[in-house]
Amino acid sequence: MAMVCELTFDRERLKDEIRATYGRVAGQPDGDFHFHRGPEYAATMLGYDRAELDELPDFVTAPFAGVGNPLRAGALPGGARVIDLGSGSGMDCLLAGRRVGQQGEVVGFDMTDAMLDKARAGAAAAGMQHVRFEKADISQLPINAGSVDVAISNGVINLSPEKSQVFAELYRVLRPGGRVQFADIVIKTELSAAALNDIQLWVG
């Protein structure tokens, strides 16, 4: 029987730790981290098209640290408005930008400045004016209600201590008939209160 365990740690401290970790990933993607990164991993383990990744700037694909491929869950229609929750260095957003075309729009939201810098530089290098990136907490999206066709996310929702609010925000911003395509980590066993309140386990 599932139990609800109160999170007693400082949530802002957790977010600071997440920013610090992924700031290091942005600056040194080949550094010592326990999770996989980069285009080779994305292509061989997650089903991304390596040729398509090779057409993107290296500084965008190298820090990629997703856990799946949300773009494979369904085709993105041309002209669609797409958002990415936790867009990191922008790899998924640039791929989405190709699919929706110049008549569409892709907005990536992230809270790590170093990742946002990589993503914005990548969009400029790729000539994708219809792809942009904003600093935001994914539990408080700075976007109008009912304005999004597809929301994607890749290995980020698990990091949020406010998951109910994240999904409430997704419901708020999606248009009628809109959809969510995300890949994430699921734990099948019940965790102890100590584990659930260990910030280092959250950050990874």
Superfamily of domain covering 11-203: Vaccinia Virus protein VP39 (3.40.50.150)
Rounded to the nearest 10°, the torsion over CA 185, 154, 111, 28 is 90
Query: Each residue of 127-176: pLDDT tens digit?
Result: 999 999 999 999 999 999 999 999 999 999 999 989 999 999 999 999 99
C-alpha 175/C-alpha 182 separation (Å) is: 17
How is the chain split into domains, by residue range?
A: 11-203
Query: Which of helix, strand or coil describes residue 29?
Result: coil
pLDDT digits (tens, 9 = 90+) for 57-94: 999 999 999 999 999 999 999 999 999 999 999 999 99
Output the pTM of the full model: 0.92
CA distances for 79 relative to 49, 105, 106, 149, angstroms: 22, 7, 10, 10
Give the position of tokens 């569409």.
104
Give the number of other CB atoms < 10 A from CB of residue 13: 10
